[in-house]
Amino acid sequence: MGGLGSSRSEVAAGTAERAKTGLLVVGSFVALLFVVELINFLTLRSLNTIFGLRPRSADGVLDILTFPLLHANIGHLTSNALPLIIFGFLVFLSGVRVFVITLSLSWLGSGAAVWFFGGGGITVGASGLVFGLFAFLLVRGFLNRNWWQILLSAILFMAYGSILLGVLPIVAGFISWQAHLGGALGGVLAALLLKRPAR
């Protein structure tokens, strides 16, 4: 019995440490976005012109690495900040590897979709990351057949499911549905790659 109690306390301590680290990592990333937004504001949005994603341009390929760090204005950033923290934290609870893979595929999927299929103009914003993390959280429970993860999926869908309309091209002309759809597909791909082997 003593061994079982010790094992449970170690698991709880590990989960608490992971949660603490997750809040630090995700919070620091969002704080970085606000620092970039301040610099962008002070330089009259010049960063968007230089590092925003320009579809189908040869030098725009590198912009895939930078465009989620930029935003059109503080309101744009603020609308992404809270879901980034919530979804990023929940994904991080599954481990650093899961978080890094999911964020990376969401980032690349969002950027690739905009580069190949984006309209005219420059695209900026971290909403593709939001959609990727959200999509991962929605589907992973069903792939893993984990009832706790499915329950979390249901709760998140009821709270944030309406944002999925953002993957449709008919919602609003100023919203990059390509970034949203590409990010979401990246999140689903991450869930498939990280699917637990069947026992």
Q: Which residue numbers are catalytic?
A: 127, 180
Amino acid at 49: T
How much of the chain is helix, strand and coil, in % rounded to 5? 80, 0, 20
Residue 173 CA, distance from chain mean position = 22
Q: Which of 54, 174, 173, 72 is nearest to 116 (CA)?
A: 54
Which residue, chain included where needed, has tokens 């925003």? Answer: 52
Measured CA to CA, the distance from residue 2 to residue 49 in angstroms comes to 62
The structure tokens 């709270």 sit at 159
Contact 60, 53 (CB under 8 A): yes
Non-local (6+) Cβ contacts of 117 within 8 A are 55, 178
The CA distance from 99 to 95, in Å, is: 6
**Cβ neighbours of residue 144 closer than 8 Å, sequence gap 6 or more:** 195, 196
